[in-house]
Amino acid sequence: MINGSTITKVAFASLFHTWNRKVYHYALSKTGSSYIAEETVQRTFIKLWDNLQHKNIDVKVEAQLFMITRSVMLDIIKEERRRQLAMSRQETREELSPTPFDHYRLKELQEQLDQLINTMPEGRKRVFQLHRQQNLSYKQIAELLSISPKTVESHIHLALKTLKKNFFFFFILFILFFTLS
């Protein structure tokens, strides 16, 4: 047992040389990571030095050493998991973030959609735009245009049928292009 007030740098260096490989191998056997094992050795002996300098603990140094080692190792593992989780989240955000090329492709898609909508008969085009772009209900559109809700439903159905028919091939190409790029 070393009393906290009597530890010298020489005694601590001797303690370090006696125990550092044992602490390293213990941490390596528990984690399988040489990085964590090295970090554990460094932090463990720093904490042990602080304990021996500032606290009068009546516990054998060896017991302190392995209690500190276990605690430090668990702290490092938690830090690593948090770091890996943060990196994983960042990678996911980056993967989900649209690229300038994605914006370009979406702009092209919107232009083609607008062209298709503009080729529709005027009444169908108006009903479709009120419903899809201004989010009006069939009833609201019927009241606004003085037509029946069934007529609105028919216009929407025909507009969607036109878009599906004309966009089917484009969507296949679009999906293939997105998945292959």
Q: Which residue is listed with tokens 């929407």?
A: 156
176 Rama class: left (phi>0) / alpha (psi -120 to 50) / beta:
alpha
- Whether the predicted pLDDT of 121 surpasses 70: yes
Of 84 and 92, more confident: 84
Contact between 72 and 44 under an 8 Å Cβ cutoff? The reply is yes
The SS3 of residue 62 is helix
State yes or no: pLDDT of 12 exceeds 80: yes
Write out pLDDT tens, residues 133-178. 888 999 999 999 999 999 999 999 998 888 888 777 666 665 665 5
Report residue 23's pLDDT band, with 50, 70 and 90 as the boundaries. very high
What is the percentage of the chain residues whose pLDDT exceeds 70? 83
Structure tokens at 62: 């060896």
The larger pLDDT score, comparing residue 88 to residue 82, is at 82
Tokens for 64, please give them. 């302190």
* Rg (alpha carbons) of the chain, rounded to whole number: 35
Burial degree of 155 (CB within 10 A; 0-12, 13-18, 19+):
buried
Judge whether 36 and 81 are in contact, CB under 8 Å.
no
2: three-class secondary structure by DSSP: coil
Residue 4, pLDDT > 50, answer no
Looking at the chain, the whole-number percentage of residues with pLDDT higher than 90 is 45
